[in-house]
Amino acid sequence: MLKLENTTIKFGGLIAVNEVNVEIEEGSIFGLIGPNGAGKTTLFNIISGVNKPTSGKVIFNGKEIQGIQPYKINQLGIARTYQNINLFKKMTVLENVMVGCHSMSKSGFFSSIFRTKGQEEEEKYIVEKSMEILEFMELKDKSSFKASNLSYGEQRRLEISRALASDPKLLLLDEPAAGMNGKEKEELSEIIKKINKKGITVLLVEHDMKLVMKITDTICVLNYGKKLALGNPLAIQNNKEVIEAYLGGGLSV
């Protein structure tokens, strides 16, 4: 589904991502791990169009997408969340998700001003769809809250809801469990599995090893921008290089 071919990005003299080759299979949950500064978020930014790779390709469903504007990437079917929460704080929870519906709706300027039938129906559909997503993410009873009034874990879930609203085929989650407590993490892993069951491929960057090992099908380990290892959770746990570079001593999961 998504394929990175020799993807490299340099910031001045720093090679943040160095010749990474990865293929993500459709319908899988793919984990991306690595120590701080390994280039995980940069890789995310390359896929979502924020950064343009210096060389190499990003192929999504057979189409080269490197260097395309972020909003077009979203329209192609890749949605993302952010490491530092990037919600529209002054909008309500429902409105946040409704913004997420932007790329799957199409009413224009004049149909909005004259409130044509098509536009009204589309608005109704957007509201219904957004409420469905909020119900799925267990945020429905908070739909009229301001986004900034949600708890931390709820804000993270709202980010995922908003990303889901654009009907993505690939969902990029950048440290969704950061700052969550144990119970919230449990709920989150259930939610990610549920999203995956809907047929959405998930690419997950996460520091919480327990969570990653539990839900992913394949894991890619990055270190200093280079791919260190690729394999299923068990293989990664027993990979000597990975243990040395990242996990330090023994691993007890």
Partner 1 sequence: MENVNTNSMIDAIKNRMGILKDNKIKTIGIIAVVAVIAYMLQERYLSLILCFICINSIAVSGLDILFGYTGQVSFGHAGFYAIGAYTSTLLSMKANVPVILSILLAALLAMIFGTIIAFPASKLVKHFLSLMTIAFGQMVFMFISVTDKLTNGFSGIMNIPNIKVLGYTFTSNQSYFLLFATVTVFVVIGKKRLIDSRIGRALIAVRENPHAAAGMGINVRFYKILAFAVSAFLTGLAGAFYAHLMGFISPDTFTANQSNIFMTMLLFGGIASLVGPVIGSAILVIVTELMQSFVSYQMLIYAFFILAVLFYLPNGVVGIAAKIKAFLVKRRERKVK
List contacts with partner 1 (CB under 8 A): 48, 50, 69-71, 74-75, 79-80, 82, 86-91, 95, 98-103, 105, 107-109, 112-115, 119-120, 122-124, 126-128, 131, 135, 140-141, 143, 162-163, 165-166
What's the closest the beta carbon of residue 142 comes to partner 1, in angstroms? 11
Which is closer to partner 1, CB of 85 or CB of 230? 85
Which is closer to partner 1, CB of 165 or CB of 213? 165
- For 84, residues 6+ apart whose C-beta sits below 8 A from its C-beta are none
What's the closest the beta carbon of residue 133 comes to partner 1, in angstroms? 12
Which is closer to partner 1, CB of 19 or CB of 95? 95
What's the closest the beta carbon of residue 102 comes to partner 1, in angstroms? 5
Which is closer to partner 1, CB of 102 or CB of 214? 102
What's the closest the beta carbon of residue 90 comes to partner 1, in angstroms? 6
Which is closer to partner 1, CB of 30 or CB of 82? 82
What's the closest the beta carbon of residue 18 comes to partner 1, in angstroms? 25
- Closest by CA to 48, choosing from 19, 18, 27, 69, is 69
C-alpha pair distances (Å), 172 with each of 89, 112, 160, 184, 251: 21, 32, 9, 19, 27
What's the closest the beta carbon of residue 29 comes to partner 1, in angstroms? 21
CA distance 27 to 7: 23
Query: What phi and psi values does residue 133 have, to the nearest 5 degrees?
Result: -65, -40
Which is closer to partner 1, CB of 55 or CB of 86? 86
Q: Where are the alpha helices (DSSP H) in the chain?
A: 40-47, 70-76, 93-100, 109-113, 117-136, 152-164, 182-197, 209-215, 233-237, 240-242
- Closest by CA to 185, choosing from 206, 166, 162, is 206
